Amino acid sequence: MSKKDIGIIGMGVMGRSIARNMGSNGIELALFNRYIENDEVRVAQKVIAQYEELRNASGFEDLKAFVADLKRPRKILLMINAGTPVDDIIQQLTPLLEPGDVVMDGGNSYYKDTKARVQQLCSYEMHYLGIGISGGESGALKGPSIMPGGTKIAFDLVRPYLEKIAAKDHLGGICCTYIGSDASGHFVKMIHNGIEYAEMQLLAEVYGILKNVGKFTHPKIGQILHEWLKTDADSYLLYITANILQERVQGKPILNTILDVAGNKGTGSWSTQAACEYGIPATMLSAALFARYTSSFYEDRLRAAQYLEIESISKPKLSLDDLYHAYRSARIINHHQGFHLIAKASEDQNWNVDLSELARIWTNGCIIRSRLMEKISTEIDRLDQILLLPAFYKQVQASLGQMKKISTVIVNTSVSAPCFLNALDFAKAYSQKRSTAHIIQAQRDYFGAHRYKKKDDPDGPSHHHLWKAP
C-alpha cells in the first residue's frame, strides 16, 4: 500500500472533521489517536470504518508505525488540546522524524508557545507551523478559514493540501493564506476569537435590551434579527442567534432551558493579555471577556440580586432603529480594535501580516464572517486603523446620536450591556483632540517624578516640576 500524504494526530470532533474534509478532497491520510485502556481503543480505526470518505485512510495507535506510513518529507497535523499535550506529542515525534519534515498545530495554542516550538523544531532542521483554523465542526468539515504561520518553505510544502480543504470567498478565492513567520498564524486566530467574543456579547446585549426593555418575546426578537440579516449587518453570528431565538423544545423557547453561565477556553483572556502587552485599547473584547467571567459567579449573582435592586430611573423609550444603528457602529469599533492589535503585533514581531488578505480569508469559513468583513477586506489596505477610513468613520459619526440614546436606555435600566457602553466611550476617547491624560501625567510626576512632555514640544525632552510638598 502506498504511503500517505498527510498524517493527522487526534480524532476528536475537529480532527475527525478535518480528516473527513481531506478525505473527500482526495488527500490520502494516516490517522493516529492515542490508546487509553478501556477508554480510547482503536479510535482512528473506528473513525475510518464510520465514514466512507476515509475508506482509503489507515489508522494507528502506534506512533512509530504512523510516522512510517507517511511520504517524505512527512507532514503531520496535530488536532489535540493546546498546552502540555502538544509538547508531549512533539517530544514523542521528534526522534521519529527527519530534517525537512513538517509538524503543524491546528489547535488554539498560545502564540508564545508556538513561537518556542518553531525554534525547537528548527534546531532539529524540521519545520513547525502554527495554523489557526476557524469555522467550528461544520467549517472543519465543509471548508474552514485557515491561517498558517511559520516558515514560508513549510507553508509551500503543505499549501496544496490546505487550499483543497479551505472555504471559498464570495469571489471564489481560497480562504487560506500565508500569514507570516513563527507564531503569526496562531496570534491572528487568537485575536479572531477576541473579536468573536465581543461580537457574541453584542448580540447577547441586543437580546437583553429587546427582551428586558422592549418586552419582546423570543420569537419576535428572532424575527427582528432576521430582518437585520437583509442589511449590511448580516453575519454568521447574527444568523445563528436569530435561529436560536426561534428554536423551541416541547413548545417552549430553548433559551429558557439554558443556564446563563458562559464558558471560555483561553483565547479571550490571551487576547486581552496581548492588548495589554502591545498597548492597544481593545476595550470591547476585554469587556466581553469580563462579562463571561461575571456570568460564571452564578451563586454570587443570585445572592447579590437580593440586595442590589437596580430599578429603572424612568420608563425608557426604545427605538429599534436606534438599536440597529448603534449595533452596526459598535461592530465597526470592535473590528477596529482587533485589527489595530494585529497590526501592532505584526509590526513589533516583524510578521508583515497583510491585513487586507487576512480580512479576505475571514469573509467565509470562519465564525466572524460577515458583510462588514467583506467591506473591511477592500478598505483596510489603505490604513491599518479602521476608524480613520472614511467608509467607516462616516458611518460611526452618523450614528453617534443613536449610540448615545441606546447607552442612555442601558444606564437608566437594570440591563447590563458593557460592550455597547464601551463602544460609545471608545468613540469619544479616540476622537478627543484634548484628553484628560495631562492630569495623569501631572499626578505621576508629583508622586513619582516620572516626568512629562510639554504640550508645545511633544517630541522634545521630558520635564520634572518641583511640586509643593504634600
The three cell numbers of residue 21 are 474534509
Q: For residue 304, how far is the Cα from the chain centroid?
A: 32
**Neighbouring residues of 258: CB distance < 8 A, sequence distance ≥ 6:** none
287-321 b/e (C-beta count within 10 Å ≥ 16 → b): bbbebbeebeeeeeeeeeeeeeeeeeeeebebeee
Contact 213, 413 (CB under 8 A): yes
Grid cell digits, residue 175 = 480562504
Active-site pick, 4, 28, 115, 196: 196
In the sheet with 102-105, reading across from the earlier edge strand, the strands are: 58-60, 29-32, 6-9, 75-78, 102-105, 127-134, 145-149
DSSP assignment of 193-250 = HHHHHHHHHHHHHHHHHHHHTS---HHHHHHHHHHHTTTTT-BHHHHHHHHHHH-EET
387 φ, ψ (degrees, to nearest 5):
-75, 0
The neighbouring-strand residues paired with 102 are: 75, 127
Alpha helices in 282-436 (DSSP H): 283-296, 298-307, 320-349, 355-361, 371-379, 390-398, 400-411, 418-430
Active site residue 347: no
DSSP state of 463: B
Nearest Cα to Cα of residue 433 among 466, 402, 455: 455
Instruction: Kindly compute the dihedral angle of the four CA atoms of residues 70, 73, 77, 78, in this order, to the nearest 10 degrees.
Output: 90
- Residue among 4, 75, 115, 189 flagged as catalytic: 189
Strand segments, DSSP code E, in 106-211 are 127-134, 145-149
Give the Cα separation of 394 and 399 in Å (integer).
9
Kindly list the distances between the CA atom of residue 231 and the CA atoms of 35, 225, 228, 330, 377, in Å, as whole numbers in the listed order: 50, 10, 5, 16, 18
Q: In the block, which residue shows the cell 468613520? A: 393
| 196 labelled catalytic | yes
What are the residue numbers of the active site?
Answer: 189, 196
